[in-house]
Chain A
Amino acid sequence: MTDSNLVRPEELDGMSHLVSERALRGETMLLNMGPQHPSTHGVLRLLLELDGEIVVNCIPDIGFLHTGIEKTMESKIYNKALVCTDRMDYLNPLGNNLVYSLAVEKLVGLDVPPRAQVLRVLLAELTRIGSHLLWLGTSALDLAAMSVFLYGMREREIILDIFEMISGQRMMTSYIRPGGVWRDVPAEFEAAVRNFLEVMPRRLDEYESLLTHNALFLERTVDIGKICTEECIRWGITGPAIRATGLPYDLRKARPYSGYETYDFDIPTAEGCDVYGRYLVRVQEIRESLKIVRQALDKLPYGPVQSSNRKFVPPPRSEIGVSMESLIHHFKLWTEGYHAPAEGVYVAIESPRGELGFYVEGNGGPKPQRVFYRGPSFANLQIMPILTRKHFVADVVGIIGSIDIVLGDTDR
């Protein structure tokens, strides 16, 4: 052994106490994966300790996308802070809007009209499908299946076109707001969603025919990255990762919000606890989401899409011209904002990745005292050392893909 094999502890960015003695002696290899790496699904750094090709330890290092969103939201009034939520988990922007809106509504006691409730569910499910499609594409790409990526992005564009139709933006819509949604959907909305519902099931069969029974794909996913239900609960893992262990835990059923209890859908589970199980759960979830979207579209009631409580929801433009009171409300809401009580509320929804929670605490004034975002990826990423232990280094890529992390969600 030469001296050049020795690892100097100061080279390890303060992580030398986490690697084994063998690594410091140069017997095992320390490999940096990221922060700029094509298949880490964002700017994540993993310090891998390798014995040959086997992963002995995996130390995640996050924070490369820390944006200070919570601090920024605390400096804005409640209505304006909504814009920041889109950029947290950027694959689930409407879900983030939804959970923030639910938290603010709970804090100030605001009602939501039925049409807005159904629209919220519909759009949250479309977002879930979009997120799963992107996940399917990128994680298959990590396992070297290129065509699924191209197909998945093709269908995702249909969803993005629908978002653009309703809000003018493809991704960062800020469409769901406290008290309802921004404005009513245009006349073409229903036809566009029906078209998507028509197209999507066949396309999904197409993806499944490429992957589900593909021997190469099975070889890379079955019995890789296993974790049991008890471990998941101990580590706070939620979402498809816990459902792949056979536990049907889904917040849409456990603690329904926005009227999810009135929809008929199942919670897909799998038995494998592995990467393949998580894949099966997600693909099945797309089908269930399509069911919910169809039901929501069928029962979409007519009526207002925003609460008529003018103390919290700005009046429509048509009213401002004729009513002095509306003008005052508009002015007050967009300059000072509304005041929320000095209380804290916690609300959680089921995002495509798991439990997405918002803790919002008011201080009696127009700006929040504390906004805390509980991202599912943060908890899910924490178990990377357990999932990757004793696997090949090539499987690390597949495991990262299977827990579907979004670094905007982790680092905020």
Chain B
Amino acid sequence: MEVAMDDQLQSAATAMHERFGAEIHRYADDTSLIAAHDRNVELLTALRDEFRFEMLVAVTAVDYWPQVTPRFHVLYILYSMQHNSTLLVRIPLDGNMPHLRTVEGVYPSANWYEREVYDMFGVTFVGHSDLRRILMPKDWQGHPLRKDYPLGYEEVSFTFNYDEIDLRKPLAKE
């Protein structure tokens, strides 16, 4: 399944490896860089300015609970319109309440995506202009997409627990 990396992607990945010590990982035809969290802004700035990754497609995160070091990976998906290539940048973060510098200054579209990651995973973006919950109500407790957050389902109704479930629906008419 190994597909040849195109030259521009190759040179970008190599440069990032040399300059920031980013690890290059390939699977199928996706290239991802695994970089340290303290220089994420510089890395993305270099990718944008020197290697023409002008579009930030998305920012998201992955939770590896119960593993703690690293517990989270923050993932930036970049796209270069000029060279027609996609690059994934992963930033491993340790601990349960991680912090990361915002990349809003590099890519303005990161604004809402970082808010979403904050809302869903509890990763705090330092320097973000408007770090509020975006999808959940503002008084919500917890961060739903964390693996230690329960899915919170209602159990299937049987005769033994029918009354218990029915209590939660006081307005259901006959």
| Complex interface residues of chain A between 93 and 118 (CB less than 8 A to chain B) | 106-107, 109
Min CB–CB distance A246 → chain B (angstroms): 14
Select which of B30, B130, B136, B138 is within 8 A of A17 by beta carbon.
B130
Are the C-beta atoms of B27 and A343 separated by less than 8 Å? yes
- B77 contacts A346, C-beta separation under 8 Å: yes
Please give me the residue from chain A that is nearest to B150 by CB atom. Answer: A71
Distance between Cα atoms of A14 and B75 in the complex (Å): 28
Which residues, 98 to 134 on B, are CB-close (under 8 Å) to A? 107-109, 111-113, 130, 132-134
Q: Is A284 an interface residue (CB 8 A)?
A: no
The A contact surface, by secondary structure, is: mixed
Residues from chain B with a CB closer than 8 A to the CB of A75 are: 151
Report the Cα distance A249→B80, complex, angstroms.
12
How distant is the Cα of A107 from the Cα of B81 in the complex, in angstroms?
24
> Does A374 contact B107, Cβ atoms closer than 8 Å?
no
The answer for the CA separation of A148 and B51 in the assembled complex, in Å, is 46
Which residue of chain B has its CB nearest to the CB of A410? Answer: B135
> Once the chains are docked, how many angstroms separate the CA of A253 from the CA of B150?
42
CB neighbours of B58 from chain A (8 A): 236, 357, 359, 372, 374
Q: How far is it, in angstroms, between the C-alpha of A359 and the C-alpha of B86 when the chains are bound?
A: 13
Residue A62 at the chain B interface, CB threshold 8 Å: yes
B109 contacts A62, C-beta separation under 8 Å: no
Contacts of B29 in A (CB 8 A): 106
Q: How far is the CB of A223 from chain B (nearest CB, A)?
A: 24
Query: Which residue of chain B lies nearest to A232 when distances are taken between CB atoms in the complex?
Result: B55
Is A235 interfacial (CB 8 A cutoff)? yes
If over half of B's interface residues share one DSSP class (helix, strand or loop), that class is named, otherwise mixed; here it is loop
Chain A's nearest CB lies how many Å from the CB of B15?
Answer: 22
Bound: A412/B135 CA distance, A: 9
B172 at the interface (CB under 8 A from A): no
A78 at the interface (CB under 8 A from B): no
**A346-366 contacts to B (CB < 8 Å):** 346, 348, 355, 357, 359, 361
Query: Which residue of B is nearest A235, CB measured?
Result: B109
Q: Given B28, B57, B144, which contacts A106 in the complex, CB threshold below 8 Å?
A: B28
Q: Give per-residue flags for B142-174: 1 if the beta carbon is below 8 A from chain A beta carbons, else 0.
A: 001100010100000000000000000000000
* Binary flags per residue of A228-241, CB closer than 8 Å to B gives 1, else 0: 00000111100000
Please, which residues of chain B bring their CB within 8 A of the CB of A161?
none
- Asked whether A70 and B54 contact (CB < 8 A) given A234-B109, A346-B30, A382-B112, the answer is no
Q: Bound complex: CA of A341 vs CA of B111, how far in Å? A: 32
* B151 contacts across to A, CB distance below 8 A: 68, 71-72, 75
Set of chain B residues within 8 Å of A255, measured between Cβ atoms: 84, 86
Q: Does B93 contact A (CB under 8 A)?
A: no
Docked CA distance A14–B136 (Å): 13
Number of interface residues of B (CB under 8 A): 39
Would you give the shortest CB distance from B106 to chain A, in whole angstroms? 10
Bound form: Cα–Cα A412–B120 in Å: 12
CB under 8 Å from chain A, chain B span 79-102: 81, 84, 86, 88
* Most chain B CB inside 10 Å of its own CB: which residue of A18, A107, A236: A236
The answer to whether B56 has its CB under 8 Å from any CB of chain A is yes
A235 to B108, CA, bound (A): 6
Complex Cα spacing A52 to B50, Å: 46
Instruction: Collect the chain B residues with CB atoms within 8 Å of residue A412's CB.
Output: 135
Does B4 make an interface contact (CB < 8 A)? no
A66 to B116, CA, bound (A): 12
Q: Chain B contacts of A143 at CB under 8 A? A: none
Identify which of A106, A234, A346 gathers the most chain B CB atoms within 10 Å of its CB: A346
Q: In the assembly, what is the distance between CA of A210 and CA of B88, in Å?
A: 46
**Cβ A236 vs Cβ B109 within 8 A:** yes
Q: Are A382 and B88 in contact (CB under 8 A)?
A: no
Answer whether residue A379 sits at the interface, using C-beta atoms and an 8 A cutoff.
Answer: yes
Q: Is A322 an interface residue (CB 8 A)?
A: no
Give the CA-CA distance A327 to B159 in the complex, in Å. Answer: 34
Q: Assess A109 versus B54: contact at CB under 8 Å? Given A62-B134, A344-B88.
A: no
Chain A residues closer than 8 Å to B32, beta-carbon distance = 344
A191 CB–B CB distance under 8 Å: no
Kindly list chain B residues whose C-beta atoms are within 8 Å of the C-beta of A346.
Answer: 30, 77, 86, 88
Chain B residues near A (Cβ < 8 Å): 1, 27-30, 32, 54-58, 60, 62-64, 75, 77, 81, 84, 86, 88, 107-109, 111-113, 130, 132-138, 144-145, 149, 151
Listed by A's residue number, 7 A-B pairs whose Cβ atoms lie within 8 Å are A68-B151, A71-B144, A71-B145, A233-B81, A357-B58, A372-B58, A379-B109
15 more contacts with CB within 8 A, not counting A63-B137, A233-B81, A345-B27, are A14-B132, A62-B135, A63-B136, A66-B136, A71-B151, A341-B27, A345-B28, A346-B88, A348-B57, A355-B57, A357-B77, A369-B64, A372-B75, A374-B57, A379-B112
Nearest 6 A-B pairs (CB), nearest first?
Answer: A63-B135, A236-B109, A66-B135, A370-B62, A343-B27, A374-B58
